Amino acid sequence: MTRPMHNRWIAALFTTGVLLMTCGCTKETGPGGSGPGGDGSGASLGGYASPDGVLILNQGAPRLENGSVTWIAPDGTVEQNVYRRINGSTCGNTAQDLYLQGDKIYILSNNNAVPDLGNSEPGDGSIVIVDAETFRREKVFRFEDLLFHKPEGSLETVDMLPLATPLENLAVIDEHNLFLADGQGMFRLDTETGVLTLVEGGYHFGNQGNTIETVVATRGMTVIGDHLYCAGGGFWTNTQLFEFTKNCNEVTRTLDLSGEFISGICRTGDHEIVVATCGRAGSLKSYLTFVDTETMTATLEKPINADISANLMNSSGVTLAGDYLYFTGGTLTVSRISLKTWKVEEYIQVNQDAPQARYLTCNVVADPKKNLLYVSVSNDLNEAIVSDGQVLVYDCSGDTPQLVMRLENQASYPVNIYPMSQFE
């Protein structure tokens, strides 16, 4: 049986940091549009990789539905069940994350169970790789295939260990460097060989070596060149930003941060990111730390008198558009922070546009190229109920938000939303 969705989103969870380690590692198209490739090469990609489109990854009600994908085309038309329509199957149960790199899209799902109240159809895999333009399935890694060697010092009695669900986030540097996180730590998967490696510095031994405990709190992950950045902290070690590197199985650099828990991470420049940290839910003691990733130094730390918690969701709790960071702290009020004046203001009262909505299904997502903000809400949040849901799209270019699109019941419990321009 899958972990109950409601419990997953509201259960207490400690997010953690990482210990400093050193390392010596250095077609045929779908629907219209074209744009730069996700690998930064400038290659023209269209179809479902069009930078003017948006993908929505739906978790669905896990006991009734498998994961699915909704596509908002550049002209605003909406296509549901993209993966099923093209491949005749479902990608996986309890979908978690999606990433575009080069000409491939990678989809992460738990997929260690099938819906026991639905049609009992098994999903294709825990990691499914599709052609970015056509969405045709190219490669699958099943949950039982994703095994890793136990690290030195582990007291486990078997040599090969499985991942632990729920899986969290993934990001891809190239086909040999897919990074993913679960409740144990950070892993590097070579999708060509299938070798899965637990990255040193991305985990901690608990219970005197009987368990492997995460020090990774991936509320979003950011790739810059050959490096990946995410953060952790609050249980095993102090709060930190840490860096993973292409072809390397050890954490390469870390940076201490203020704050107890990780809210999220955003890229703000060619070599700059902002990391948001916070206290426990409801706490107004939060911080924004701007980091130069070339020198791995903090250029600015700003205390924020607001709850910017990611609300135990895997996606980043803060999102950037223009000169503002947007957040909800798990509520149906979207607030924003000016990066010029540091003023915090309530910006959108979601119930004014969706009166029946009771829950966010994922953290809000901005498209900084278009100054659009995506807000996904549902009337219920239950593993055995297909609930009415809406995705509201706001133009945030002015002082007053403007609702420009409403998708009603065209996505089921979205776990994240991806303006494809973010992968350019």
State the SS3 of 43-60: CEEEHHHCCCCEEEEECC
Q: Measure the CA–CA gap between 1 and 115, rounded to whole angstroms.
A: 8
Half-sphere exposure of 51 (CA within 13 A, CB side): 20
Q: For residue 194, what are the contacts with CB-CB under 8 A and spacing of at least 6?
A: 141, 145
312 near 302, Cβ under 8 Å?
no
Half-sphere exposure of 327 (CA within 13 A, CB side): 28
Question: Whole-model pTM?
Answer: 0.90
State the SS3 of 364-389: CEEECCCCEEEEEEECCCCCCCCCCE
Per-residue pLDDT of the chain (424 residues; tens, 9 = 90+): 333 343 333 333 333 333 333 344 543 334 443 333 344 444 568 999 999 999 999 999 999 999 999 999 999 999 999 999 999 999 999 999 999 999 999 999 999 999 999 878 999 999 999 999 999 999 999 999 999 999 999 999 999 999 999 999 999 999 999 999 998 999 999 999 999 999 999 998 888 788 888 888 888 999 999 999 999 876 667 899 999 999 999 999 999 999 989 999 999 999 999 999 998 777 889 999 999 999 999 999 999 999 999 988 989 999 999 999 999 999 999 999 999 999 999 999 999 999 999 999 999 999 999 999 999 999 998 888 899 999 999 999 999 999 999 999 999 999 999 999 999 8
pLDDT value, residue 234: 63
CB atoms within 10 A of CB 191: 19
Cα 268 → chain centroid: 17
DSSP structural state of residue 296: T
